[in-house]
Chain A
Amino acid sequence: MRIKFLICLLFSAVTGLQAQEYFPKNDAVKAQENTNFTVLKNANIYVDPSNVIQNGMLSMRNGKITAVGKNIKIPANAVVIDLKGKTVYPSFIDLYTSFGIKKPESTGGSPYSGNPQYDAGREGYYWNDHVRPETSALESFTYNKEEAEKLRKLGFGVVNTHMPDGIIRGTGMLVALNSEGTEGDRILDEESAQYFSFEKSAKSKQVYPSSKMGAMALLRQAYLDADWYAQGNADNKDLALEAFNENKNLLQIFKTDNLLDELRADKVGDEVGVQYVIVGSGKEFERLDAVKATNAAFIVPLNFPEPFDMEDPYMANYATLGDMKEWNQAPANLKMLTEKKVPYTITSHDAEKNFRENLLKAVEYGLDRKDALAALTTVPAKLIGQENKLGTLKEGAWANLIITSGDFFDKETTLYENWVQGKREIFEDIDLVSLNGTYDVNVAGNTYKIKISGEPSKPKAEVKANNSKIGSKVNYKNNWVNILLSAPDTTIAEYTRLSARISDDAKNFSGKAILGDGTQTTFTATRTAEASEKEENKPADLHEVLPVTFPNMAFGFQNIPKQQDILFKNATVWTNEDQGIVENTDVLVRNGKIAEVGKNLSDRGATVIDATGKHLTTGIIDEHSHLAASAVNEAGHNSSAEVQMEDVVDPDDIGVYRNLAGGVTTMQLLHGSANPIGGQSAILKMKWGATPEEMIFDNSPKFIKFALGENVKQANWDSNSRFPQTRMGVEQVFVDYFTRAREYEELKNSGKPYRKDIEMETILEVLDGERYVTAHSYVQSEINMLMKVAEQYGFNINTFTHILEGYKVADKMAEHGVGGSTFSDWWAYKYEVKDAIPQNAVIMHNAGVTVAINSDDAEMSRRLNQEAAKSVKYGDISEEEAWKFVTLNPAKLLHIDDRVGSIREGKDADLVLWDAHPLSVYAKPEKTLIEGVVYFDLERDQQLRKEVEKQRNLLTTQMLKAKNDGLKTQPVKESKKEEMHCDTL
């Protein structure tokens, strides 16, 4: 009897795990344990990616491998399976799944409407519902045979699963996909890892954190609270923190959705002393250096974007180059990660449907097969601490293996079998005889020409009678073939049925035929031609991969420009220093600094730029911006002092480039105005192409955003359950927090144990004058109020921003020593700005207030020179002073005027070369430099435009070809970033 007949019977019998020896057995006799060995022979065995045994043998018993080698001793009680040259790999491991666990469904709806939930909904747990470390995957786990089979068909044998819900998600577990065993057999580790994400739990509508920076702050605080709890300082029971402390020594896996979040997760990890393994986005290639610098291992999905359907040229216009490039480049991600020596494993998450297709695509795009195999086997095994048990076929490891017709990473390779814990599952019969070929079939005097092709177990037939095609169906299973033929005359609904059993030699076969009228007879089939060798080759979606740019989108740099030494000759120089505006003057830039200002300077090797007839100024500084941010408001609490805008810098915002084109070199990225006490600011240099960290101003002074008025009292949206709802309440929020911060300080200084509170620490910095306040404000009453409250607590407000009624209290502001950063001419858009006037800046200035003009707007920020000029019009101020409103004065307000804001030796070479008077509506920046790097150049911009056009055309053609080749496409979508303002939630 041939082995293939045994297959089905063997499925559960060959190498059963040993029954639990101390369990009684009531349904049969207990003494029927199967202690036979199973031996695979004549196989190419990948013991691990770099150790292949050609024509080797492997024996197993009780779900484990007992021996592997070229020639091993076959025990007498072995069932031997001849693999006849097939290939054996360790089954794959997926460290990021929610296998067998149902994700809770969100109740939906806006968290802000009606009565938002600001407090935690649970008792005995952490103060925030989105911190759920006590969650155990085991609690909600139900082994799912269908899901398991799908995963096994992809080649997986073991997965880590978890509850994908919340920011701290609790523990995951390691499960073998052994559908025959019991939970006792399958669960390899019930607490294998702890999981994290930036996504809130669907189980709670608690508003905090409403933003990414809030989630990051919450994580930091949770770590602090856990330490404090561990020291026994809490009076209450906190089951979440207890669990969090217990989970600390597990593998820590952080799920992210995009590249910036990957870096953010690692940043938090660095601060709390944890190296997360990061579930990535598949976009790691866009910033490989930053990814490498995390030192993290990555769990990478194979979720390559589908090409856009570019057939409609009008819709095609909405596709962005950035998205098109991601489609073009994503298949090369793993290759690039390998080259960069970033450790990674591969997950099927997000790509369950086209996992194999995409894996093979990654190989086509240069991923080494050995590295691919390691990423699926040894790497995850090692990460999970099971390198001797999983991901390898050495003695003692679990008998988790797959059998394939050849190299797994070849397109035509068939996956025959997947064995998990010695349980065999057959997808394709290894021994199935292929019927492929062309046959002459004779039935009752008629001859049909039948061509059979396709996969052996799923053959396709093409039938001709008298040279015309007739309908047919073929079915081939368990060595029986059934063929259904329609009548040559298509008007007659008559069918001929053929049925035959196939022997080893399928060249000729014969069997029973039943004709249309029910007559039974016989038929014979004789192979007249072999199947053509050429496989039906699916068009390879192999396209030219475009180089990554920084950022990887329109106008990105293929190479970020380098610092240059430059001599500007003969410019009109707006120094912002005592010498004022000087004509025919040279400025020498060296090593990123202004080296010399004067007449007839020698170039000392610097590139000379003739600036005759042109104006050279320091770069514009926008005191109030929400550009280049992934979030603006943390609206979950009325104080969010703990959140940091530095956490959510988004360098891929086209606004950065456009601002450079408007002469802006520095900006303050502020938290929004949803809360009286907002978040910590970020001061950024507009370094297009840089990473978030590189954009942050070196040794930035510390700032925080406060806010007053309509936004903080939630007057402009439908929410009425949060204190404060009036300006009266706003004052009390400040008094309350400042009082508590002082109490906190007292306890801290007392030497008694105290709970470190990031929010309180931040507010203490404010009270102690170490952190400056930028306060969003409009009407005079509230401006006055905040100064009085600050004075009461012994500190000063640094800047009132917006401050549209500043002119009404300018004398008081001057006395307090606060600066004003205002709009040039905005008014009448809401009730609290009905008295805003365009003379505001100048009246404050004349009263002795340091005044800046800001934008709060991605459009206006790129024309701040024009906004400054409006003060000349409306307020009759000198042009020199007006110019300082957008340069030196904001530098002073930001306490960075020692570095930027004027043209003086030793200051940063942040310069703008204008083609005309810089306050004029006609002026255009020709070059914008930051620290001696030409980040914007009018001529280079022209080249970049051509490059954008060229790349769009190339990628459009590639996408059209992809569609034409039959690849699945997705409708064009424009991933437009929202332009953000103070009140963006």
Chain B
Amino acid sequence: MKNLKKYILPVLLLLAGSAIAQQTPAPQQDGAITIVGATAHIGNGEVIENSLIVFQNGKLTTVTDANSTNQQYPGTIIDAKGKHVYPGFISPNSTLGLVEIDAVVQSDDEDELGELLPHVRSLIAYNAESQVVESMRPNGVLVGQITPRGGRISGTSSIVHFDAWNWEDAVLKEDDGLHINWPNSVRRGRWWAGEDPGIKPNDDYSKNLQELSSFFVNAKAYLAGPQEKANLPFQAMEEVFNGNKRIYIHANSEKELIDMLAFKKEHELKNVVLVGGYDSYKIADQIKAANIPVLVGRVHETPQMEDQDYDLPYKLASLLNEQGILVGLETSGGMERMNSRNLPFYAGTVTGYGVSKEEALKMITSNTAKILGIDDSLGSLETGKDATLFISDGDALDMRTNKISHAFIQGREISLESHQTELAKRYTKKYGQQEKK
């Protein structure tokens, strides 16, 4: 407690600087920070009840049981007894920073014209000063994979953290993966063209598959050859074929998933990740055998079919997890950007359908980091990894107790204020109400 003042000061300084619309990014970590007494949720399934966590120069140097060491507490000490520490939550397959307000088309940069756009890169459109992005942080969502939408191959995503002056500062992994929207094997009737609005087989499905396959074959052939003329889409595939860039295949129905497995085999693709995977539980064994991890679609959804169990979207992640598949949770869907801050509660909801809280936590931390290929530095509270973490008053997977007092990205203590908290304070003050503590 004696060191409490030491940490209050920087926080007050941060508050003072928060009058402008976007929060000012925190400066580099200067001196060690020690969090003591918290229940540490490591993110790999382990929990340390009375933990000692130390980080310096942005990296975790100590994560241990406080009872088991006599180590001196270096630097700023945060007494977090009764509180909980988590690794920063990771939001994969996200469009944060690509669109500010959904209905304002001028603010929308998520979907480029064209079908096969592996060369299109989300990173340069990422708005590091987005008000929506900053609203993630008070919920513990500190990292995201910024992903383009639309087309057959939407483009290339990059992984960023959520406290930066610009996209260059924000990037954690540039051009990490290629995103393919798998063709739909069924389609809805075009009611406006007089068709029955029900669902029917997509007559173009084989053709769409053929086009995709042909693109892969041609890109490979092109890269093997002399490349006499530049072909930007083909060139962008080089990193895919050599395994440096992951392939995120967005697919949902059972038939599509089976075709996707065949496609992977046919083109000898490495590092394939399934995104969405609504029907994946039906062929979990095959997905497992192909060693494909799944980023499970939004948990807070209604089942797609009226005959399905009311809780199917709640339990899908658990059904896959039981089969030994590496599972992460993603948030795409309607109003996805602002809703991404509910990522921890998707994990909370998954709990209670066959997975423990710590197992569910992995689905938004270490599992996701492994799936995205950033587990060397992120996803768990382990020595040597980035000090990207936060302190919550209670269980961060439950909205009832997710109350964050401190958050750090690479050791930098970031502001938890936002456009929203500022408005709240302004009007609370206007009415002379008790300010939020």
- Show the binding face of A for B, using Cβ within 8 Å: 108, 110, 312, 314-315, 317-318, 320-322, 553-554, 654-655, 657-658, 661, 710, 716, 807-808, 810-811, 825-831, 834-835, 837-839, 843, 846-847, 858-860, 862-863, 866, 869-870, 872-873, 875-876, 879, 917, 919-922, 924, 941, 945, 948, 952, 971-977, 979
Q: Is B229 an interface residue (CB 8 A)?
A: no
- In the bound assembly, the distance between CA atoms of A876 and B189 in angstroms comes to 48
Interface size on B, residues (CB 8 A): 59
Q: Is B213 an interface residue (CB 8 A)?
A: no
Q: Which residues of A contact B104 (CB under 8 A)?
A: 830-831
- In the bound assembly, the distance between CA atoms of A948 and B318 in angstroms comes to 22
Asked if A919 and B198 sit within 8 Å, CB to CB, the answer is no
Q: Which residues of B contact A108 (CB under 8 A)?
A: 194
Asked if A317 and B254 sit within 8 Å, CB to CB, the answer is yes
Given known A110-B192, A921-B345, contact A318–B338 (CB-CB < 8 A): no
Pick the 3 closest A-B CB pairs, nearest first: A973-B198, A921-B348, A830-B103
Considering only CB atoms, which chain A residue lies closest to B434 in the complex?
A846
| Cross-chain contact of A846 among B303, B351, B431 (Cβ < 8 A) | B431
- Show the binding face of B for A, using Cβ within 8 Å: 100-104, 131-132, 185-186, 189, 192, 194, 196, 198-201, 253-255, 300-303, 305-307, 309-311, 335, 337-338, 341-342, 345, 348-349, 351-352, 397-403, 420-421, 423-424, 427-428, 430-431, 433-434, 436-437
- With A872-B399, A973-B199 already in contact, 16 other A-B pairs whose C-beta atoms are closer than 8 Å: A315-B201, A317-B254, A655-B302, A808-B427, A810-B431, A828-B100, A829-B103, A837-B420, A846-B428, A846-B433, A869-B400, A921-B348, A922-B348, A922-B352, A973-B189, A975-B198
17 residue pairs of the A-B complex, CB under 8 angstroms, read A658-B303, A661-B310, A807-B423, A808-B427, A810-B427, A825-B338, A825-B341, A827-B338, A830-B102, A838-B420, A839-B424, A843-B433, A846-B434, A917-B400, A920-B398, A971-B201, A973-B200
Given known A318-B199, A654-B306, contact A843–B352 (CB-CB < 8 A): no
Asked if A976 and B199 sit within 8 Å, CB to CB, the answer is yes
Asked if A320 and B335 sit within 8 Å, CB to CB, the answer is no
| Cross-chain contact of B301 among A825, A859, A872, A952 (Cβ < 8 A) | A859
- In the bound assembly, the distance between CA atoms of A654 and B304 in angstroms comes to 11
Asked if A873 and B424 sit within 8 Å, CB to CB, the answer is no
Considering only CB atoms, which chain B residue lies closest to A553 in the complex?
B306
- In the bound assembly, the distance between CA atoms of A825 and B344 in angstroms comes to 14
Given known A825-B341, A921-B400, A973-B200, contact A658–B310 (CB-CB < 8 A): yes
Asked if B437 and A315 sit within 8 Å, CB to CB, the answer is no
- In the bound assembly, the distance between CA atoms of A105 and B235 in angstroms comes to 54
Asked if A945 and B309 sit within 8 Å, CB to CB, the answer is yes
Asked if B400 and A837 sit within 8 Å, CB to CB, the answer is no
- In the bound assembly, the distance between CA atoms of A919 and B400 in angstroms comes to 6
- In the bound assembly, the distance between CA atoms of A110 and B351 in angstroms comes to 46
- In the bound assembly, the distance between CA atoms of A828 and B253 in angstroms comes to 31
- B61: min CB distance to chain A, Å: 31
- In the bound assembly, the distance between CA atoms of A716 and B102 in angstroms comes to 11
The A contact surface, by secondary structure, is loop
Given known A866-B345, A876-B436, contact A320–B101 (CB-CB < 8 A): no
Asked if B399 and A870 sit within 8 Å, CB to CB, the answer is yes
Q: Which residues of A contact B400 (CB under 8 A)?
A: 869, 872-873, 879, 917, 919-921
Considering only CB atoms, which chain B residue lies closest to A919 in the complex?
B400
Asked if B424 and A837 sit within 8 Å, CB to CB, the answer is yes
Q: Which residues of B contact A318 (CB under 8 A)?
A: 186, 199, 305
Asked if A924 and B352 sit within 8 Å, CB to CB, the answer is yes
- In the bound assembly, the distance between CA atoms of A274 and B307 in angstroms comes to 39
Asked if B420 and A843 sit within 8 Å, CB to CB, the answer is no
Q: Which residues of A contact B345 (CB under 8 A)?
A: 866, 921
- In the bound assembly, the distance between CA atoms of A952 and B309 in angstroms comes to 14
Q: Which residues of A contact B351 (CB under 8 A)?
A: 921-922
- B395: min CB distance to chain A, Å: 9
Considering only CB atoms, which chain B residue lies closest to A916 in the complex?
B352
Q: Which residues of B contact A830 (CB under 8 A)?
A: 101-104
- A858: min CB distance to chain B, Å: 6
- In the bound assembly, the distance between CA atoms of A920 and B310 in angstroms comes to 19
- A236: min CB distance to chain B, Å: 38
Q: Which residues of A contact B302 (CB under 8 A)?
A: 655, 658, 858-859, 862, 979
Asked if B431 and A876 sit within 8 Å, CB to CB, the answer is no
- B23: min CB distance to chain A, Å: 15
Asked if A661 and B311 sit within 8 Å, CB to CB, the answer is yes
Q: Which residues of B contact A811 (CB under 8 A)?
A: 430-431
